[in-house]
Amino acid sequence: MKNMAKMTAKKYEMDMCNGPLLKQILIFTMPLMASGILQLLFNAADMVVAGRYAGSTALGAVGATSSLINLIINVFMGLSVGANVVIAHFYGANSKSDVFETVHTAIAMAGVCGVFLLVLGFFVSEPALIMMDTPAEILPYSTRYMQVYFIGVPMMLLYNFGAAILRAVGDTQRPLFFLIIAGIINVILNVFFVKYLGLGVVGVALATVISEAISAVLVLRALIMNDGIVKLNLRSIRIYRDKASRIARIGLPAGFQGAIFSISNVLIQSSVNSFGAVAVAGNTASMSLEGFVYNAMNSFHQTAVSFTGQNMGARKYDRVKRIAWQCMLCAVATGMILGGSCSIFAKSLLSLYNSEPEVIGFGQRRIIIIMSTYYLCGIMDAIVGVLRGMGYSIMPMIVSLLGACAFRIVWIYTVFAANPTPECLYISYPISWAITFLVHLCCYFTIARKRLKTRELTSASL
């Protein structure tokens, strides 16, 4: 029986250090991509239910919170990236005791950070939304949505940390299964709470909280029942200082990088808010569609993190170079195909969220600019994934600080201030992606590749 459990654990794990690379990348990425797209489908269901059964005000109320929510939670979500990288390094080096300590440290950190965010998010929701100039007619609804939403954040972190642990050893299938189960329940509860109980945005948030709890329980159960290297023992959950330090050293800069992007998005959301509630609803629908493309491209970022991490731990430095190029090319192809398709069918897709012509028209204005250039965002994230997998954390954060946040802030207060149109606002996205990618690429060649070459020579001489 025990041998059967070990075989099951091995079935879901992947040796990323040997074998045909592109095939392994695609096998690993497809469930990851499906997970991201499904998560967005279920989130879109929130929007569709809100827009269809509670009106454009509810749709705008939910959408007006997304940038702010991301800003608050991204710093801590970045720690899951740190856990992924550290576990992948130890797994590649076959250091079982280090993997054990890192797994239990990661779960402990998820719990502590989740409770902190619950309290923070609940109390800062209304003042933060007011600072963002959220339209008065949707402010009360947005506040209620956020306050209920943050009740489920501890469970969200536990799921994401648990999924990151599984990804580090090559398991992207089970997180997908868990997401499907939780997502279907989310959709059913959405319709029940909003259409039949008339709970509006509170019902949408409540359905999300319950589904997050279900996904967290499922991923924790998978770790507890696992007889492989990432088995979780509830009694052993504690924070090992050296492992927490390594997770934080990689994860916090990654989280701050996500927060940096969110800061610029909050400013852009505030600018969109100045166009009124209809504009907010159209922008919300467009952002939801963009999320599908982004998550598909971003799956190659997550793949790059895990593959690079394992190969760095196993000292397979030549494979790291190939991982970089193959993940970047896959991200570009995905962005071009999906982004182009969304641009072509924009009107039909937006009408799924709301049937008002003004809302659809505003959404189309954003999609035309963003979707046609979205591959730039994909290739930018892919190279960042390689750098993080190699153990670099501060460098990508600084580049993103300057290339995304600083550039967009300057743009809003200069170019957009002189020409306050939606098109002028949205064009700042592709310009910032291109600039940030080019700087990341320069860092990869001038710093990371040189150090990789040094390690390669040192390893060969041993």
60-93 pLDDT per residue, tens = 777 777 777 777 777 788 888 889 989 998 988 8
Mean pLDDT of 139-162: 90
How far is Cα 83 from Cα 81, in angstroms, rounded to an integer?
Answer: 5
At 379 the pLDDT is 94
Structure-model confidence comparison of residues 255 and 23, the more confident one: 23
pLDDT class for 7, splitting at 50, 70, 90?
A: very low
At 275 the pLDDT is 80
Buried b (16+ CB within 10 A) or exposed e, 285-314: bbbbbbbbbbbbbbbbbbbbbbbbbbbbbb
Specify whether the CB–CB gap between 220 and 232 falls below 8 A: yes
pLDDT class for 1, splitting at 50, 70, 90?
A: very low
Domain membership flag for residue 10: no
Domain membership flag for residue 372: yes
Buried b (16+ CB within 10 A) or exposed e, 156-192: bbbbbbbbbbbbbbbbbbbbbebbeebbebbbebbbe
Residue 135, both tokens: 């339209």
Domain membership flag for residue 61: yes
Chain position carrying tokens 């990432």: 230
Domain membership flag for residue 329: yes
Domain membership flag for residue 377: yes
Output the CA–CA distances (angstroms, integers) from residue 379 to 68, 295, 325, in the order listed.
25, 13, 10
Domain membership flag for residue 3: no
Of 78, 448, 90, the closest CA to residue 242 belongs to 90
Q: How many domains, in total, are found in the chain?
A: 1
What are φ and ψ of residue 302, in 5° steps?
Answer: -65, -35
How far is Cα 280 from Cα 63, in angstroms, rounded to an integer?
Answer: 7
Is the per-residue pLDDT at 462 higher than 60?
Answer: no
At 222 the pLDDT is 93
Mean pLDDT of 241-263: 83
pLDDT class for 143, splitting at 50, 70, 90?
A: confident
Question: In sequence order, which residues have a C-beta less than 8 Å from that of residue 163 and are 6 or more positions away?
Answer: 80, 175, 219
Domain membership flag for residue 403: yes
pLDDT class for 98, splitting at 50, 70, 90?
A: very high
Is the per-residue pLDDT at 204 higher than 90?
Answer: no
Domain membership flag for residue 461: no
What interhelical angle do 200-225 and 173-191 show, nearest 10? 150
Instruction: Let me know how long the chain is.
Output: 462
How far is Cα 273 from Cα 267, in angstroms, rounded to an integer?
Answer: 10
Domain limits for position 322:
18-454
Mean pLDDT of 251-272: 76
